[in-house]
Structure 1
Amino acid sequence: MRFGLMLNEPSGQDPFAELSDRIAQAVDDGFDSAWMSNIFGLDALTTLAVAGRGHAIELGTGVVPTYPRHPAVLAQQAMTVNAALGGRLALGIGLSHQIVIENMYGYSFDRPARHMKEYLDVLVPASRGEQVKYTGDTLKANLRLTTPGAGFPVLVAALGPRMLKLAGTVADGTVLWMTGPKTVAEHIAPTINAAAAEAGRERPRIVCTLPVSVTDDPDAARARANEIFAVYGQLPSYRAMLDREGAAGPGDVAIVGDESAVRAQIEGLAEAGATDFVAAIFGDRERTREVVLGASKS
């Protein structure tokens, strides 16, 4: 299993320098990848192009929302970033959520799986520099990009069966959040792997991102996780994954405990079928980082 680090958005006056330092530290530590979310702060792709240049590590987005961007426009931006990063980009994309897409951006969230299929039908070939001539129900494209940086993994934030099938047959895998080991083992991995096998494709990546904290007081850490990540227990797509796991809230899927307990939980994710573990560290950062690094080397 590959190990990655989620980059928290910095709050200093020079966020790009701060992030560059964090990425450099991740390289020195031996992490395989570093990831940045794209919510309402810094644009993840632009930030990774600036802060990640010159650092020998895979840099991923977890994830860029699709609806506000035409797939060819996103392909062009991602290709540009991939060129700037020397071919080390992993593009994670996702639908976002109905409350965001409809209430904030004003787009329709009708039939999101159809939207993602059409989006990938344009994005994937366009990002390879291929000619795209496509007419779907919601998207059209007729172009060929000449942007440098063609060819990088495209990962979909896929949780439901239809989205997982798309991630396995069209994209290169999935990026997960708030999805525990039971759900990975019984739902995510079997569904996406079967779809890829049926399509004659290689085993897709399953990038499992979870909060993690090494602590001597796991109950307090779970309560803190419930507080920090409360919104994710209310959004329907993540709520469905928590329900599958039998989890009351985000704290129940957070990886918490002492050194041996956290290491065992990380190993459990690999056994469940995750190909990548991305640590969203909270609490004692240094203690937690050391344990995650130790697990990556075992």
Structure 2
Amino acid sequence: MTDFSIMMPFAPQRPEQMLPFAALTQWSPAACLWQGQGNVGDTHISFAHAAAAGFRVPTGTSVNLMPFLHPYDAALRAQTLAATTGNRVVAGFGPGGASLQRGILGAPYRSQLGAVREYVTVVRSLLDTGEVHHEGEYFTCRMVMARYPRPLVEIGLGVLRPRMAELAGEVADVAITWLTSAAYLRETLVPALRRGAQRAGRRPPRLVAIVPMALRADGRDPVELALTSNSGHMRLPHYVDMLQRSGIEVDMAADPRASGRALVDGGAFLYGDRDELAVAVKEFVAAGADEVAFNMAGVCMLYGARRTLGELETVLESVAS
């Protein structure tokens, strides 16, 4: 059975701004509330605030960027969040782009995959056993962490390209995609997840697709919506490469509107009425997604949070019916 979830459409400047979306998650068929990494506020604090306000829902981070958090701190925060919410937590991680690594660490990781593997090794050991003895090229940690009863914490990896998908297949509980088309999931990422899992002698991780979308309405421009919610990602080299691999050509420096149109036409940004969106979402399910999280950031940025909440509820009802 596939789950359908909500992606916070903006990074809250104040944690109470999350409450309406946490409430919708609790009162609707939504399975989880997801929040991405931002530079405005801390994701874990916003989730904890929602729990303290009475909205103790399953949560997911998509994704916490590794340069910001030592893996010990990442494990401690994930465990604390699970205990605070009383619900499952997907602790999603990713290395970020080379420019971010350079800005925080002074230089990019020599090997993205090597750094991610070490990071997950430390976090998993701490969460599973309460201790870790790891000395690697990128991370060293010889520590203990108190363990106590708490709900499940799943380790997720942000996955854009085949090699990271294979690594997720080996070491992660959850693979998390962003801005990918259903066809790219089916033809590229799902086979890579299976290859990695087979190599490690385990089952493939759950696949969560975070999908940008908007309901069709008079006066709306789908290209504007696509660019409003995704233009930042469309300028990052690793996203450009992923989109090109999926047959979506983007060049934001040369022609932003053509790039936005390619995103819509290529199925990486969904636009349509409630029935059309339900059909498009089910294509992600058929491609192998175990959970689809609805990202209406463009709607929120252009039309506000109240409109976004109503449209999220509409789409959740349409796919659940």
> In the alignment, residue 145 of structure 2 is paired with which amino acid?
L
TM superposition shift of 1:204: 1.2
Note if contact 2:122-2:141 (Cα within 8 Å) is conserved in structure 1: yes
TM superposition shift of 1:55: 2.7
* Partner SS, residue 138 of structure 1: coil
Q: Percent identity?
A: 23
1:24 aligned onto 2:29: no
TM-score normalised to the size of structure 2?
Answer: 0.84
Aligned to 1:275: 290
CA distance in 1, matches of 2:48, 2:215: 31
Note if contact 1:52-1:59 (Cα within 8 Å) is conserved in structure 2: no
Instruction: State the Cα RMSD in Å.
Output: 2.2
* Partner SS, residue 282 of structure 2: helix
TM-score normalised to the size of structure 1?
Answer: 0.91
State which drifts further: 279-288 or 26-35: 279-288
1:296 aligned onto 2:319: yes
State which drifts further: 68-77 or 222-231: 222-231
Note if contact 2:11-2:40 (Cα within 8 Å) is conserved in structure 1: no
> In the alignment, residue 46 of structure 1 is paired with which amino acid?
I
TM superposition shift of 1:170: 1.1
Note if contact 2:16-2:46 (Cα within 8 Å) is conserved in structure 1: no
Note if contact 1:23-1:34 (Cα within 8 Å) is conserved in structure 2: yes
1:180 aligned onto 2:189: no
Number of corresponding residues: 296
Query: CA 1:3/1:178 → structure 2, altered by over 3 Å: closer, same or farther?
Result: same
Unaligned runs of 5+ in 1: none
Please identify which structure carries the higher helix content. Answer: 2
CA distance in 2, matches of 1:280, 1:44: 16
* Runs of 4+ in structure 1 over 3 Å off: 9-12, 147-151, 216-219, 248-251
Aligned to 1:38: 37
State which drifts further: 118-127 or 1-10: 1-10
Query: CA 1:218/1:61 → structure 2, altered by over 3 Å: closer, same or farther?
Result: farther
> In the alignment, residue 280 of structure 1 is paired with which amino acid?
N
In the TM superposition, 1:65-144 aligns within 5 A as 65-144=65-144
TM superposition shift of 1:208: 0.6
Unaligned runs of 5+ in 2: 250-258, 300-306
CA distance in 1, matches of 2:280, 2:310: 16
> In the alignment, residue 47 of structure 2 is paired with which amino acid?
L
In the TM superposition, 1:178-257 aligns within 5 A as 178-216=179-217, 220-248=221-249, 249=259, 251-252=263-264, 253-257=268-272
CA distance in 1, matches of 2:17, 2:58: 18
Note if contact 1:207-1:274 (Cα within 8 Å) is conserved in structure 2: yes
* Partner SS, residue 48 of structure 2: helix
1:266 aligned onto 2:277: no
State which drifts further: 234-243 or 218-227: 218-227
Aligned to 1:9: 10
TM superposition shift of 1:86: 1.1
CA distance in 1, matches of 2:10, 2:233: 18
Residues 180-213 of structure 1: per-residue CA shift (max 9 Å, x gap): 1111001111111232244332331111112110
Query: CA 1:198/1:110 → structure 2, altered by over 3 Å: closer, same or farther?
Result: closer
Residues 88-138 of structure 1: per-residue CA shift (max 9 Å, x gap): 211111111111121355343321111101111111111223431112122
Aligned to 1:51: 50
Note if contact 2:275-2:318 (Cα within 8 Å) is conserved in structure 1: no
CA distance in 1, matches of 2:41, 2:160: 25
Residues 13-61 of structure 1: per-residue CA shift (max 9 Å, x gap): xx32231232012211220011111121111122212223443431111
> In the alignment, residue 225 of structure 1 is paired with which amino acid?
A
> In the alignment, residue 179 of structure 1 is paired with which amino acid?
T
Residues 265-297 of structure 1: per-residue CA shift (max 9 Å, x gap): 101010111111111113352563244213431
Note if contact 1:36-1:60 (Cα within 8 Å) is conserved in structure 2: yes
